[in-house]
Structure 1
Amino acid sequence: MSNFRNLLIWQKSMSLTTKIYKSNKKFPKEEIFALTSQIRRSSVSIPSNIAEGFGRESSKEYLRFLNIAIGSLFELQTQLEIAKNIDYLIEDEFNTLYEDSREIERMLVSFMNKIKERD
């Protein structure tokens, strides 16, 4: 594969990030530097680390960036749960975003395992 943009996992994480930005536009303005910012940063970190790791020379380095991406994904899942609990996200919206994040989680784990098997 010659480009990280061809990775389905990167494409799906970009789509999730776009959905996140659209969904938290409705959050209260006082959250702009708090939960809104945290959610956006963790979501942006996922495709960013997938892309950055792709450009590294070794599998070990790539795995390090994929580990950072999965850590950011777990942060995002936690923050989405908080947003739901304080009624910033309605149940259906939360479920969609959370299920998208779970799909990316499964893909990341599988991808990381494939890279480990190659070495």
Structure 2
Amino acid sequence: MGDFTKLQVWILAKELAVNIYSLTASEKFSKDYDMRNQLRRAAVSVPSNIAEGEESGSNPQSIRFFILQKVL
């Protein structure tokens, strides 16, 4: 089991989530709560799924988890 916080893909996904949170805090999203919340949930799910896949154990399990997330 590795440290997912050192994975480049997780780092980029986290940066994307932070950027989306910043963008959706703008005036344009102040009245469209559903859109804002959907974008935020989707943004957070990416690094969360990477972390869950990495913590699931061996590389074959991680690869299977990432493939399932891509398909779903």
TM range (shorter): 0.7 to 0.9
Deviations 1:10-33 (A, max 9, x none): 00100010000000111332212x
Normalising to structure 2: TM-score of the pair? 0.79
Identity %, equivalent residues: 31
Question: Contact 2:53 / 2:61 at 8 angstroms: preserved in 1?
Answer: yes
Amino acid aligned to 1:22: S
Of structures 1 and 2, the one with the larger relative CO (CA 8 A, separation 6+) is: 2
* Distance in 1, Cα, partners of 2:55 & 2:29: 38
Q: SS of 2:2's equivalent?
A: coil
**Distance across 2 between alignment mates of 1:25 and 1:31:** 11
Structure 1: how far apart are the matches of 2:29 and 2:49?
29
Specify every segment of 5 or more residues in structure 2 that has no aligned partner in the other structure, as ranges: none
Closer, same or farther in 2 for the Cα pair 1:37/1:65, shift >3 Å? farther
What residue number does 1:52 align with?
52
TM-fit CA distance, 1:62: 1.7
Cα distance change of structure 1 residues 71 and 42 upon mapping to structure 2, 3 Å threshold: farther
Q: For the aligned residues, what is the CA RMSD?
A: 2.2
Which digits, 9 at most, give the CA deviation of each residue in 1:31-77, with x for residues without a partner?
12x11011001110000000000011244432343232x468xxxxx
Long gaps (5+) in structure 1: 73-119
What TM-score do the two structures reach when normalised by structure 1?
Answer: 0.51
